[in-house]
């Protein structure tokens, strides 16, 4: 019996496709390549996948009623993940629901290390065979390399098959490419300087690739992408659950990230005028779930207690085995992991900032989709992970979005009047994480939000008429108008709701409680911390005084707070250019004491306290 299919058209893209009956509009959008926000991975909890169905929209589901406002339902908005295709449909994607090009942080500090790459390219002269010298071709090549200072090498079976022809084509004067202890390629001697590696920071939200000249150590090109896996959920739990629901889910997510990494490789090579075949190794850091999805390792045990990874070791595998299109015999190195929710990206932060060698007590906070916190010195390092990121990256916020063009990233209240700034100075579309923190901090400072997080009624701020008129109810809860409808790109007011404030309290409470718990386990006080390092895009773009003002950052002098940018990416480059540092990384990963917060009663108590704003 033939399957029943219907035609679905997505506007304003003008994309039409045939969709089997019963599929959701979110699944149809993914199949059509329509960039639709879906932070929760289609579970109907985030409200990101709002779509407009102008003609005879279906009755709203319970999830729609729970997440969307009455006004939004009245405007014929529905959640794409909740609407199943039962007839031909025309669907309009609102601006605020569209995934836009995100501002991606690529630069970060790096701890200086000597140039000792795992890849070496050495031109040698190999004695030609004769009646008196009948050594095998592999032996004569290895002997020549030993004389050049590279001994103890091997030649793999694939290289052996082409070795006789390549040696003779090159008149026994090759540039031998050695990855680790294996000869993987013979190039022209004039191409001895064409030796590159790719450092990869594979994040839950963003992907960054650094093309590095392994002869000089110079980064010659950088390219980045949003992680396309976000179409199946903004956080790792949503993606793990997708893998559990769909038989081919893990394969789908791996293919998505590998395709994006190959795009990054191609773009970086194009910018530097380098052929991908001249890239002989990639070094990758990422959290545990990103690591496992890339390596096709099972992820189901990561999401449930006791949150165990399949493997925490570093790995070196053929790059082509995962689909990475560097040299056909190039290798992929993945850094070691610390725990189920503290991965090689945190190891990269530790290496790049030099925490593993620090004499003074240092605190590092990497606020991303997950919040990783590291505390310690060269004598002892503690680490934990907190579920802080979704709200601070725009998820679960009524008009939240990523840090892309049109996102409000700064909010100020001066003399009782509100001003906002957007990324790219574009018309406002929504509120990204830094703008969210700014808005809450500004309203708390102005007395619109009290220390418990409650929005005060308009009459309580009557002394500031512009603020008072912006306070209005929205579906039974208080809300504050940041941007009026006529000034917004989306045609409706951009609000900060009471629920949004609560989400910020949950996020900042988790970070603050995590910091306090690590200090307690370490046996130190906040005054003992010499420096607070902020890593990641959120930490780099946030105004520290605002974050400190709401308790997201510790109450320390601002001069103690230092931005370190994409320290995870810097750590990946260090692992690429210095092979000895990989042993250090393993020692660091094994030596870090992981503090599991979910089972700690003191964390829960601190979390409840930390949800309040300073002054409560």
| Cβ 177 vs Cβ 280: under 8 Å | yes
Task: State pLDDT tens for residues 570-583.
Answer: 999 999 999 999 99
Side by side, the strands of the sheet bearing 154-155 are: 119-123, 175-179, 182-187, 154-155
- The Cα angle at residue 607 between residues 605 and 612, in degrees rounded to 5: 110
Report the C-alpha gap between 46 and 29 in whole angstroms: 17
The model's confidence at residue 218, banded by pLDDT at 50, 70 and 90, is very high
For residues 393, 395, 396 and 398, what is the CA-based torsion angle, rounded to 10 degrees?
A: 90
Cα dist. 514→183, 203, 217, 545, 588 in Å?
A: 47, 21, 37, 20, 21
* DSSP H or E segment with residue 394: none
Cite the residue boundaries of each domain of the chain with CATH code 3.30.420.480. Answer: 196-334
For residues 571, 369, 203 and 554, what is the CA-based torsion angle, rounded to 10 degrees?
A: -10
Q: What is the third-level CATH fold of 196-334?
A: Nucleotidyltransferase; domain 5 (3.30.420)
Report the C-alpha gap between 430 and 102 in whole angstroms: 13
Predicted confidence at residue 367, as pLDDT, reads 83
Cite the residue boundaries of each domain of the chain with CATH code 3.10.20.30. Answer: 5-97
| Cβ 361 vs Cβ 369: under 8 Å | no
Tokens of 50: 């709002």
Does domain 119-191 fall under CATH 3.10.20.880? My reply is: yes
The better pLDDT of the pair 74, 168 is held by 168
If you average pLDDT over every residue of the chain, what do you get? 90
pTM, to two decimals: 0.84
Task: State pLDDT tens for residues 196-207.
Answer: 999 999 998 889
pLDDT value at 2 more than 80 = no
Task: State pLDDT tens for residues 447-463.
Answer: 999 999 999 998 888 78
Cα dist. 346→202, 217, 219, 352, 579 in Å?
A: 12, 23, 21, 10, 18
> Cis link prior to 12 (omega < 30° from 0)?
yes
The better pLDDT of the pair 70, 219 is held by 219
Does domain 5-97 fall under CATH 3.40.50.720? My reply is: no
Predicted confidence at residue 107, as pLDDT, reads 62
């Amino acid at each position: 019996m033939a399957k029943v299919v219907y035609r679905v058209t997505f506007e304003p893209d003008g994309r039409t496709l045939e969709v089997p009956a019963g599929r959701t509009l979110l699944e149809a959008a993914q199949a059509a390549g329509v960039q639709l926000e879906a932070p929760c991975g289609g579970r109907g909890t985030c409200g990101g996948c709002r779509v407009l169905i102008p003609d005879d929209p279906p009755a709203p589901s319970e999830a729609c009623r729970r997440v969307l406002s009455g006004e939004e339902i009245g405007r014929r908005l529905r959640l794409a993940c909740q609407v199943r295709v039962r007839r031909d449909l025309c669907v309009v994607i609102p601006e605020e629901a569209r995934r836009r090009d995100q501002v991606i942080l690529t630069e970060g500090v790096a701890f200086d290390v000597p140039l000792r790459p795992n890849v070496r390219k050495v031109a040698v002269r190999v004695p030609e065979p004769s009646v008196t010298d009948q050594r095998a071709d592999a032996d004569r090549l290895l002997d020549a390399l030993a004389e050049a200072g590279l001994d103890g090498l091997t030649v793999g079976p694939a290289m052996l098959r082409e070795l006789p022809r390549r040696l003779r084509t090159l008149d026994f004067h090759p540039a031998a490419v050695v990855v680790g202890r294996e000869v993987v390629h013979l190039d022209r001697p004039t191409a001895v300087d064409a030796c590159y590696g790719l450092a990869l920071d594979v994040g839950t939200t963003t992907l960054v690739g650094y093309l590095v000249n392994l002869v000089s150590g110079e980064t010659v090109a950088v390219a980045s992408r949003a992680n396309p896996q976000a179409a199946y959920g903004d956080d790792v739990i949503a993606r793990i659950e997708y893998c559990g629901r769909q038989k081919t889910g893990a394969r789908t997510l791996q293919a998505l990230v590998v395709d994006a990494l190959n795009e990054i490789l191609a773009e970086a090579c194009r910018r530097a005028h380098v052929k991908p075949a001249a890239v002989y190794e990639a070094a990758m850091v990422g959290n545990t779930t990103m690591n496992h999805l890339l390596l096709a390792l099972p992820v189901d045990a990561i999401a449930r207690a006791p949150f165990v990874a399949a493997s925490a070791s570093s790995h070196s595998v053929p790059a082509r085995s995962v689909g990475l299109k560097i040299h056909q015999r190039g290798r992929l190195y993945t850094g070691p992991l610390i725990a189920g929710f503290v991965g090689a990206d945190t190891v990269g932060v530790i290496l790049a900032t030099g925490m593993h060698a620090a004499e003074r007590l240092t605190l590092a906070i990497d606020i991303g989709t997950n919040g990783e916190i590291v505390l310690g010195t060269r004598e002892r390092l503690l680490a934990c992970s907190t579920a802080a990121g979704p709200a601070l990256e725009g998820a679960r916020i009524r008009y939240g979005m990523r840090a892309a063009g049109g996102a409000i990233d700064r909010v100020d209240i001066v003399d009782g009047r509100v001003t906002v700034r957007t990324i790219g100075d574009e018309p406002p579309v929504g509120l990204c994480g830094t703008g969210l923190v700014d808005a809450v901090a500004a309203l708390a400072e102005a007395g619109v939000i009290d220390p418990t997080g409650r929005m005060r009624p308009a009459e309580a701020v009557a002394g500031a008429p512009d603020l008072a008129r912006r306070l209005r109810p929205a579906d039974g809860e208080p809300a504050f108008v940041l941007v009026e409808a006529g000034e917004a790109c989306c045609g409706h007011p951009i609000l900060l709701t009471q629920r949004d404030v609560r989400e910020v309290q949950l996020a900042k409470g988790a970070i603050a409680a995590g910091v306090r718990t690590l200090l307690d386990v370490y046996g130190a006080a906040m005054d003992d911390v010499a420096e607070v390092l902020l890593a990641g895009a959120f930490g780099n773009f946030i105004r520290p005084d605002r974050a400190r003002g709401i308790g997201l950052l510790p109450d320390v002098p601002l001069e103690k707070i230092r931005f370190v940018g994409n320290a995870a990416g810097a750590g990946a480059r260090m692992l690429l250019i210095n092979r000895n540092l990989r042993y250090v990384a393993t020692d660091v990963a094994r030596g870090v004491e992981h503090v599991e917060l979910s089972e700690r009663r003191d964390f829960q108590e601190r979390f409840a306290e930390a949800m309040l704003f300073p002054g409560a």
